[in-house]
Amino acid sequence: MLFHVRMDVKLPHDMADSVAANLKQVEKDKAQALQRSGTWRHLWRIAGQYSNVSIFDVADVEELHQLLSTLPLFPYMTIQVMPLCRHPSSVHDDDR
């Protein structure tokens, strides 16, 4: 199943720079591994915000929840999830 996920990150202002840098690096490593596996299909930054829009390809909403809740930045995120399905007017045969 495909899911459109918006993640808005808000780190505490009093978080030490070194802690924030470490969290961001661990998050980046995990995100890139999930992209390489095909689970995290697309990842786009929203210009001017500490936010992204992503497409995930997982079996179901439970798998998506499990994946998102294990992200290092999860405690600092506001997340919006929208399940996706193929539109009957799409000219593509696949999920490009």
More confident position, 95 or 59: 59
Task: Give me the amino acid identity at 52.
Answer: N
Q: Which domains, and CATH codes, for the chain? A: 2-84 (3.30.70.1060)
The pLDDT of residue 86? 84
The pLDDT of residue 95? 67
Our CA angle for 15, 17, 21, nearest 5°, is 110
Task: Give me the amino acid identity at 39.
Answer: T
Contacts of 24 (CB under 8 A, 6+ apart): 73
**Across 64-93, average pLDDT:** 94
Our CA angle for 74, 75, 79, nearest 5°, is 55
Does the pLDDT of residue 66 top 90, yes or no?
Answer: yes
- CB-CB contact of 14 with 59 (8 Å): no
Mean pLDDT of the chain: 95
